[in-house]
Copies of this chain bind each other. A is one copy, B any other.
């Protein structure tokens, strides 16, 4: 859309927001590593002197950096530098996403996109999963099995199983996406009733997916995945008494 990042405030003086200069400067210091990851930012009053500007501007800059995910601010603590990674992006989206999940349509859209992604994930897994991927999947499935009687634990291992799928492409974007789905979607049906029966059902569904992957059958894997997620959605739908298709 806009290339604001590069155009910025231009000559650096005059146009618009003074905070932007500070943001840009600190941004540079962070990516260059001069401000080391996980370390606190200098005190506001220090930065204020360092940049020859008022505390107002410094604070605004810090606020902006925080919203960019480059620093983490806790109420009464020094902001902590955080080098941006893929998780940062998701974190930045998070707050906005909430609004889109206000109605069932939004939730359904997100859920559908998840199905969309995982379909290809399992297809690809069936075609090209490596030995260690298989090992991970088997282990995750085993954790499922062991946790059938403990719904809370099963919930975690359930997410973990899908997580393995997202790691297979070796692209850090996917685990981040998984993190997103997990943190945005899962809480929605947190208050949903769980039971060893359902857990077992889900375990079997996971097993069916893994079996198809082991057989190197993308079609079957995709189908098993679709069945699994459709069933899960159906359960959600019934639970919350949603009428839509």
Residues 66-87 of A, flagged 1 when their CB comes within 8 A of B and 0 if not, give 0111100001100000001110
Judging by beta carbons under 8 Å apart, are B96 and A68 in contact? yes
Which of A39-47, A154-162, A168-176, A230-238 is the interface stretch? A168-176
- Is B5 within 8 A of A98, CB to CB? yes
* Chain B residues positioned under 8 Å from A171 (CB to CB): 109, 112-113, 116
Q: How far is the CB of A44 from chain B (nearest CB, A)?
A: 13
**What number of A residues sit within 8 Å (CB to CB) of B?**
49
Query: Do B174 and A113 have beta carbons less than 8 Å apart?
Result: yes
CB neighbours of A96 from chain B (8 A): 68-69, 84, 88-89, 92
Answer yes or no: A10 CB below 8 A from chain B CBs.
no
- Among A64, A97, A116, the one with the most B-chain Cβ atoms within 10 Å of its Cβ is A116
Q: Is A104 an interface residue (CB 8 A)?
A: no
Query: Would you give the shortest CB distance from A124 to chain B, in whole angstroms?
Result: 8
Q: Does A13 contact B (CB under 8 A)?
A: no
Q: Tell me, rounded to whole Å, the shortest Cβ–Cβ distance linking A156 to chain B.
A: 14
- Whether, in the assembled complex, A37 has its beta carbon less than 8 Å from a beta carbon of chain B, the answer is no
Closest-by-CB residue of B relative to A183 is B1
Say which residue of B16, B92, B110 sits within 8 Å of A93 (CB atoms).
Answer: B92
Report if A187 contacts B (CB, 8 A).
yes
Q: How far, in angstroms, from A119 to B84 measured CA to CA in the complex?
A: 28
15 CB-based A-B contacts, threshold 8 Å: A1-B183, A16-B75, A17-B75, A63-B64, A64-B67, A69-B96, A84-B96, A89-B96, A92-B93, A112-B169, A112-B173, A113-B174, A116-B120, A116-B171, A117-B117
> Which 6 A-B pairs have CB atoms at the shortest separation, nearest pair first?
A67-B67, A16-B75, A84-B99, A120-B120, A113-B173, A89-B96
